[in-house]
Amino acid sequence: MWTDDKVTFTLPVYYADYLINGDAEGLTDREKADIDFFLQEIAQEQQVRIVSMEDDVHFRSSNDLNMFGGDCATFVAIPL
């Protein structure tokens, strides 16, 4: 969701290290591929970079990246 100077995504907390820092340790090849696809198709299309995760962890049955349930949070992206 776009606000004045940022866009937010609801994404799995488990992916935070990779989304923010590029650290793929602990991710399967499939998870990494799904995240890379999201970043290329969604984030680059909107010309944003994910920079942080808010402290609002909650369970969701799906999220903006995939249809898997789990703990999610709001990730903040800023324009490039």
pLDDT bucket at 4, cuts 50 / 70 / 90: low
Is 39 domain-assigned?
yes
Is 1 domain-assigned?
no
CA atoms within 13 A on the CB side of 33: 3
DSSP H or E segment with residue 37:
helix 29-38
Give the tokens for residue 51.
């920079």
| Domain span including residue 23 | 7-79
pLDDT in tens, 37-68: 998 887 777 788 899 999 999 999 999 998 88
Give the tokens for residue 13.
């907390």
* Predicted local distance difference test score (pLDDT) of residue 61: 95
Domain tally, the chain: 1
Q: What is the pTM of this model?
A: 0.86
Q: Is pLDDT of 76 > 80?
A: yes
